[in-house]
Amino acid sequence: MGLIFKQSFKNTLIIYLGFLVGGLNTILLYPRILESEYYGLTSYLLSYSNVIMPLTAFGIQYTIVKFFSSYISKEDKDRFLTVAIFLPLLVALPIGFLWDNIHDYIVQKLPKENLIVKDYTIVIYIVAVCCAYFEVFYSWAKVQLQTVFGNVLKEFWNRAVVMILLVAVFANWITKPEFIYILTGTYILRTVLMMFYALYLYTPKFSFKLPHNFKDVIRYSLYIILAGSAGAIILDIDKIMIPDKDTFEKAAYYTVAVFIGSFIEAPGRAMTQILQPLTSQSLNENDSKEVESLYKKSSINLLLVGGLFFLLVNCNVAELFKVMPDKGYAGGELVVLMISAVKLYTMFLGNNTTIINNSQFYRISLPIGVGMAGMVYLLNRYFYFHIEMGTDGLALSTLISVGIFNTFKIWFVNNKFKMHPFSNKSWQMMMIILVLFGAFYFWDFNVPEITYKKFNIHPLLNIILKTLIILPVYLIIVFKLNISPQVNALYNRIKR
């Protein structure tokens, strides 16, 4: 796990730096500068592109991770990577030719107050194609076990650009429509940078001869095209369904709550980036002991780190919403709790999804992915549109759907590989999280109201005071109980 921890540590720092910048954008800058309508519109466009992106990528980002390590000769690797570059065009080009029809579909199903989107639908296609090829070249770097630069571009680049552009809007250097178009251009630039870096790490001699296992490559890509990204697009399905009934402002409120709830998943994203190629390599070498070791270690370490941020987020969320200038953002505490619970459960699975996607049983990923997305959609229709539970209903749909299918994935891996992520430390960790959640969730310090130029300072003081109690209590407990030998070893190394 040395290589995993070294790059995961760097990636975690980058991701949390990205989340810090994103948090400043989401909580302070977006609501005050772009305002709810354009914030909701931007969120809608990017979420729609995220839903289309897996189709555009043709599943190649996962195919690279699975197959690259199985090739021995450079010639075979070069043939494979040549195919990987051109296959996404089989989907991207037809979607581009049909975009006028897709534009009409998007516009026709929206209420009149949301028709501002009609001038921006092309942004959805451009961002989807750019993100698809970014993921392809990022996977290209992953299989070289180099994830840090791609992680900077994926997790920090966009958020830093958004901050700069929001400041430009505030200073009247650009307009709000120009903000959207310039942001789109930065997605193009990001993809170009990732492409050059991937080619720098491994430059193939392009060959238009098909790899010997081309049928296997195509078959895997077709199965994984939706399955691999289903979990990632679940929340985007929520965001693009909101404007079908309510205004873009409502989408903006939900986006903020989802961002806060998703904050805890950063270490999972960091570790997964390096676990993917290592798990794939271990499966290709039939090293079941290493696969099981990665499974258990990733599960407990992610539960430990994710549990800390689950507590910090949820025990402070009510005060965090008081910082927001628009009262419409408040009241999302339950959404944050349910989304963060979804993320924590997913982190507890460790590299479960990677094991399935890179094994001989990868075909099960398709019904899992499609089933999960389909269940979210149907439950959203019921909770949000039929019985009108509001955005709490959207979060509940996600919690139910992901909970059911994550449980199935644990059972499936245990049934096929005779391994599971559980240990005595897992149950101890869950009890620690539950007890501290019960102890700190329902109260706050009685800090007197303090404002500076209409900005509420007292909620921030409350957050700081509560964090200063939760953080040391949590860390002392997990270190004393030796929940994770890897985390304890890292702590002892830093202490020296």
Q: Which of 185-199, 418-432, 451-465 has the lowest mean pLDDT?
A: 451-465
Task: Give the whole-number percent of the chain exceeding pLDDT 70.
Answer: 91
The alpha carbon of residue 483 and the mean position of all alpha carbons in its chain are separated, in whole angstroms, by: 26
CB atoms within 10 A of CB 194: 24
pLDDT attached to residue 437: 94
Helical (H) or strand (E) element with 414: helix 391-417
Spell 459-469 as b/e; 16+ CB within 10 A means b.
Answer: bbebbeebeee
Query: With 70 as the cut, is the pLDDT of residue 317 above it?
Result: yes
What is the pLDDT at residue 490? 65
pLDDT at residue 1, as a whole number:
47
Question: What pLDDT, on a 0 to 100 scale, did the predictor assign at position 7?
Answer: 63
Average pLDDT for 104-109:
85
> In terms of pTM, does the model score above 0.85?
no
Provide mean pLDDT across the span 307-324.
Answer: 87
Average pLDDT over residues 219-226: 79
- The total number of residues shown for the chain amounts to 496
Q: What is the pLDDT of residues 442-466, one digit of tens each?
A: 887 777 777 766 666 778 888 889 9
Query: Is 496 a residue whose pLDDT tops 80?
Result: no
State the pLDDT at residue 167. 93
Residue 359 to residue 347: CA distance in whole angstroms = 20
Which range has the worst mean pLDDT, 8-22, 104-118, 295-309, 412-426?
8-22
Q: How confident is the model at residue 241 (pLDDT cuts 50, 70, 90)?
A: confident
Most confident of 116-125, 139-148, 207-216: 116-125
Mean pLDDT confidence for 209-213? 83
Predicted local confidence at residue 328, as pLDDT: 59
Q: Residue 326: what pLDDT?
A: 62
Using one digit for the tens of pLDDT, what is the confidence trace for 137-165? 999 888 887 878 888 899 899 999 999 99
Whether residue 56 contacts residue 69, with contact meaning beta carbons closer than 8 Å, is answered with: no
* pLDDT tops 90 at residue 311: yes
Q: What pLDDT, on a 0 to 100 scale, did the predictor assign at position 124?
A: 93
How many whole angstroms separate alpha carbon 316 and alpha carbon 322? 10
Antiparallel, parallel or unpaired: β 455-456 and 451-452 = antiparallel
Residue 3 has a pLDDT of 54
Tokens of 281: 């390599």
**For position 495, what pLDDT does the model report?**
64
Q: Please write the tens of the pLDDT for every residue from 340-355.
A: 999 999 989 988 888 8
For residue 329, the model assigns a pLDDT of 63
CA neighbor of 324 nearest in space, from 266, 394, 435, 249? 249
> What mean pLDDT comes out for the span 55-71?
84
- Please state, in angstroms and as integers, the Cα–Cα distance from residue 284 to each residue in 65, 69, 223, 291, 366, following that order: 11, 8, 19, 11, 21
